[in-house]
Amino acid sequence: MLLLAGCAGLSDSRQRLPAGIDADELLSKIAACHLLRVVQSGDRAATDAVVIAALDQYGFEVEQMIERANYLARIAAARPAQREQMVEIARSACAHLVRLTGAASGLVRFDEEGGVDRTWLVVDGEINDGFADKVIARLRAERAVGLVINSPGGSLYEARRLGRWLRENGIPVGVNELCTSACVDVLAGGIERYVTANVRLGIHQSKVPAHLSSHEGGQLSVVSAALYLREMGIDDSIALAAAAVPNNRMYWISLAEALDTKLATKVVAGF
């Protein structure tokens, strides 16, 4: 029912199990995290990077994990009313494996030869109506494991909707040229956030909706931006910095500030 390729060469010697968890429970956590990525992507050749790390670190066989994942899938199929609860358990399992292994969570796919598929989708241009659905559809159709975006911004609604989907589905995001305004919210959604040394990251105030006063609208904009960044695990000082800049100007975020606030997790040479 499930397939995980490319994990040959796992360690034969199991490390000591973490305190407070036995081998059976740990195997279930690994299988649940794996199953989550398979279901999300609709791809039997998908898993999570922390699943691979945990299999290697604790010496479980891939076949053991697949057998347990199939068992969990049967339980889930028999209890459709508990689907959301089971999804939340799987999310918690992935988060627990991050803490145990020190590895970064993220979608991993394998090609037909069992090697890691490193396909990233590149998207340029304005974030307009329907943007999130279009990008999600392309990510799925092209079996991409990451998103590179360069955009002057646009719809905050579309950017945050896409950002939340990227985080939920374990997709990293990279920027190698320009990412301003609402584009920063897409970057924030990446499970890992990569930028190049010459990237330009810019923020400013959001435009106030016509039915609101500038004061009321400005307050709502700052609060919603701060809450979204907190949700993504990023310092909300970014939102406060944006609030101080009119929307016809730009505040340019330095690489040091991007890293300090966790808007970026790593500076890379390119994609």
Q: At what angle do helices 62-78 and 49-58 cross, to 10 degrees?
A: 130
Q: Are the C-beta atoms of residues 162 and 135 closer than 8 Å to each other?
A: yes
Q: How far apart are CA 34 and CA 58, in angstroms?
A: 15
What's this model's pTM, rounded to 2 decimal places?
0.85
- pLDDT, one tens digit per residue, over 204-243 is 877 654 544 454 444 566 788 889 999 999 998 888 888 8
Chain Cα centroid distance, residue 90: 15
Q: How far is CA 56 from the centre of its chain?
A: 23
Q: How many CB atoms lie within 10 A of CB 212?
A: 13
Spans of the chain, pLDDT less than 50: 1-13, 209, 211-213, 215-218
Q: CA 97 to CA 95: how far, in whole Å?
A: 5
CA pair distance 224, 160, nearest whole angstrom: 10
pLDDT at 9: 40
* Radius of gyration in angstroms for the set of CA atoms belonging to the chain, rounded to a whole number: 20
Report phi then psi at 154, rounded to 5. Answer: 145, -125
- The pLDDT assigned to 7 comes to 46
For residue 226, what pLDDT is reported? 87
pLDDT digits (tens, 9 = 90+) for 11-30: 444 578 888 889 999 999 99
d(CA 49, CA 154): 32
Q: Are 145 and 170 in contact (CB under 8 A)?
A: no
The alpha carbon of residue 98 and the mean position of all alpha carbons in its chain are separated, in whole angstroms, by: 13
pLDDT (0 to 100) of residue 245: 84
The two structure tokens encoding residue 131: 């943007």
The reported pLDDT for the residue numbered 235 is: 93
Given this model, what pLDDT does residue 6 score? Answer: 40
Pairing of strands 200-203, 251-253: antiparallel
